[in-house]
Amino acid sequence: MKLAATATDRLTVRTAPVADPGDLLAHLPAPDALAWVHRGDGVIGWGEAARITLPAGAGRFTDAASRLRELFAGAHVDDPLALPGTGPVAFGSFAFTPHAPGSVLIVPRHVLGRRDGTAWLTTIGAEPPHPGLVQPSTAPGPLTWSDGALPAPAWQHAVATARDHIRAGRLGKVVLARDLRAHADAPLDARVLLRRLAARYPACYTFAVAGLVGATPELLVRRHGGRVESLVLAGTSARGTGPAADAARGEALLASAKDQHEHAYAADMVRDALGPLCSDLHVPDRPRLLRLPNVMHLASAIHGRLSGDRSVLDVVAALHPTPAVGGAPTAAALDLIAELEGMDRGRYAAPVGWIDARGDGEWGIALRCAEVDGASARLFAGCGIVGGSDPAAELAEAQNKFRAMQYALEG
């Protein structure tokens, strides 16, 4: 665990109510942003009181929860609000596979939050918060684009190979991802990307943690007290060009045996993972449509009540990876991903979000995102492959999913 040079093992944390700050993202003072915003509410952070870099391994979620409990247990906390997201908060993102590095938790010195009409500012230590934008943000200039690990024809071939494995009965579903790379003339500012994503995709969870920036439609888990919620997305269609075409596409998606089959894998896994952790659990009989500006998904909202004292990271550990980002059976799908994708996903399609000292928090799956490193960005998109998949259609779906981050970068 890396602590800021002026910090001690005992963090001094103060949360105070504040007037409505308006646009949360407008208050980020520097490009190294921390954010989790949904329909204008959420938490943003800046400064760094502590950073926990987690070693690779299957126990990374358990290790994260344990080390955070130790850190927060030693803190002196003045939090009169005691709401989810008040008091000390850690923003985090994890590597997709257990053996990959990159999992990290960051406890910011300052957190500005808003929930259901209540706003607050949390400060760790004596350093005053910086009002407004201390460093002006600059939109990206012209970008140069290049293929990632696999060009389009090679990725379509990988999809066809995966489909053949499924038709031969070796597995039921696998999610294959591809990447694109963008290069600018100057370092990219995460704040610009966040503001564009939040404005265009308000129904998504706009996030930034340690250079991973995106707007995910998929809520892996929310824990507020003993209640947990998860939003399962699997099965996708492009939006129509007008109301009539859009309605027809939606009806076709709901009627699609291929997409319903794909969705059932994901929803059943979440039910099976949450069931042992909950005293009651509600899973809808059929998915509904979730419409976003560029695509629509089949969606199932699952909710329940936890049995026992489990933090949100305990639930994350039970859920990742879902069939929506891996496949089913999980082990066979992950083996095929390693064989066919030709790349390390890094933190793509893995949990990203925040946790507070009470164990409350919100974690999504890092989709519609990019790893930003200086003037470069690596974009990701994935598609669920089943026996009825068509490689050309899957490539078109991936292209649609890239559009969110392409818009964020190009405006």
309: DSSP letter: S
Q: What are phi and psi of 339, to 5 degrees?
A: -75, -35
Q: In which residue are the tokens 């990159």 written?
A: 102
Could you give the CA distance from residue 33 to residue 208 in angstroms, rounded to a whole number? 6
Amino acid at 360: D
Could you give the CA distance from residue 6 to residue 340 in angstroms, rounded to a whole number? 47
> Strand (E) positions, 200-267?
205-209, 212-216, 219-224, 227-238
Q: How many other β-carbons are positioned within 10 Å of the β-carbon of residue 2?
A: 12
Q: Which H or E run includes 257?
A: helix 257-274
- Closest listed residue to residue 361, CA positions, set 207, 198, 162, 167: 207
Could you give the CA distance from residue 152 to residue 129 in angstroms, rounded to a whole number? 47
Answer yes or no: 401 catalytic. no
Amino acid at 43: V
Q: Where are the alpha helices (DSSP H) in 17-175?
A: 60-73, 152-167
Q: Per the residue annotation, which of 48, 70, 218, 262 is the catalytic one?
A: 218
- Closest listed residue to residue 295, CA positions, set 360, 213, 204: 204
Answer yes or no: 258 catalytic. no
Could you give the CA distance from residue 298 to residue 387 in angstroms, rounded to a whole number? 18
Could you give the CA distance from residue 250 to residue 309 in angstroms, rounded to a whole number? 40
Q: Which H or E run includes 336?
A: helix 330-340
Q: Per the residue annotation, which of 173, 362, 371, 397 is the catalytic one?
A: 173
Could you give the CA distance from residue 214 to residue 217 in angstroms, rounded to a whole number? 10
User: Do 378 and 405 contact (CB within 8 A), yes or no?
Assistant: no
Could you give the CA distance from residue 46 to residue 282 in angstroms, rounded to a whole number? 37
Report the catalytic residues. Answer: 173, 218
